[in-house]
Amino acid sequence: MNIENYLAEKKELVDNALKGYFSNHNPFFEIMYYSLDRGKRIRPILAIASYEANGGTDVNKIMGIACGLELIHTYSLIHDDLPAMDNDDFRRGKASAHKKFGEAVAVLSGDGLFAYAYELFTEANDQLPERYRIVKEISEAVGPRGIVYGQILDIQKHQIPDPRILRQIHLNKTAKFIALSIKVGAILAQASEDNIKLLHKAGLYLGMLFQYTDDILDVVGKKEKLGKTPKKDINQDKLTAPRIYGLDGARLRAQKYAQLAKANFSKLGEQFAIFSEITDFVLNRTF
């Protein structure tokens, strides 16, 4: 199966599960679902791919965790788009949450998605030691030692374009969450500690690559394809890879991160080949 088909098949699984988690509740779930709809689902797909590559056989077992990751990711996008943060009117090919529902409801949608994610993480009560570890690791990666810290660095004005700060932004805002998504699949599938460690390391490189390509697409991407506003980072004087290294320099570094990710994934053996394909897909993505 080629990588596009693989990603489309897994995305459909995740989309169907998400629909299920958001049906038959109060009307606020429809409002939250508006923002959830139409994402690429990279993080849940990584969790599922890792679970399966590590020998997990029942995809339903990982689905609550995979979908919960997407809820947290979506909350971060909603809050990032708010006027107090990046102030973006367009997300996932449509009006961002505050444009559609107003700021107060957008804030609450983010809050609701964040909290509901933890209901999904804990929906099953089998494999409790693994699930406890997963919830702990997720909390760490999305909180003040992860995404939130990355966002704090990202919204600061950086007069001097310091590559060390850029690395901290990329690592905390994006890479830790991508690596975590791979890690949780491995933990639930009861992979060895060596494999979990190696997957996490490779995942950090993949995450850095993901943010490099995001920064590059901000410069060269098309609004219709991206589903979000391009040139946002340069116009807001954000610290990005093209600002520090130039477009060609950023592309070169993206290739280096892709090589590092693949070198580490390949140490895990043939059954992890899908991760090298995902890495190439991320390197060459146009959305």
Contact residues: ligand GRG, CB under 6 A: 39-40, 42, 73, 76-77, 79-80, 92, 147-148, 151, 173-174, 211, 214
Q: Please name the residues in contact with 178: beta carbons below 8 A apart, sequence gap of 6 or more.
A: 42, 43, 46, 203, 204, 206, 207, 210
- By the 8 A CB rule, do 211 and 244 touch? no
**CA 207-208-209 angle, 5° bins:** 90
Nearer Cβ to ligand GRG (171/199): 171
Least distance from ligand GRG to the Cβ atom of residue 137, Å: 17
Nearer Cβ to ligand GRG (46/186): 46
Nearer Cβ to ligand GRG (29/90): 90
Q: Which one, of 237, 236, 241, 216, lies nearest residue 226 by Cα?
A: 216
Nearer Cβ to ligand GRG (54/151): 151
Q: Please name the residues in contact with 7: beta carbons below 8 A apart, sequence gap of 6 or more.
A: 45, 278, 281
* 284, HSE (Cβ side, Cα atoms, 13 Å): 7
Least distance from ligand GRG to the Cβ atom of residue 57, Å: 27
What is the SS3 assignment for 197? Answer: helix
Least distance from ligand GRG to the Cβ atom of residue 128, Å: 29
DSSP, residue by residue, 19-71: HHHTSSS-THHHHHHHHHTT---HHHHHHHHHHHHTT---HHHHHHHHHHHHH
Least distance from ligand GRG to the Cβ atom of residue 126, Å: 29
Least distance from ligand GRG to the Cβ atom of residue 116, Å: 16
Least distance from ligand GRG to the Cβ atom of residue 31, Å: 18
Nearer Cβ to ligand GRG (42/63): 42
H-assigned helices in 82-170: 97-101, 103-121, 128-142, 147-155, 163-170
Quick one: angle between helices 147-155 and 163-170, nearest 10? 140
Least distance from ligand GRG to the Cβ atom of residue 165, Å: 15
Nearer Cβ to ligand GRG (39/112): 39
Nearer Cβ to ligand GRG (128/152): 152
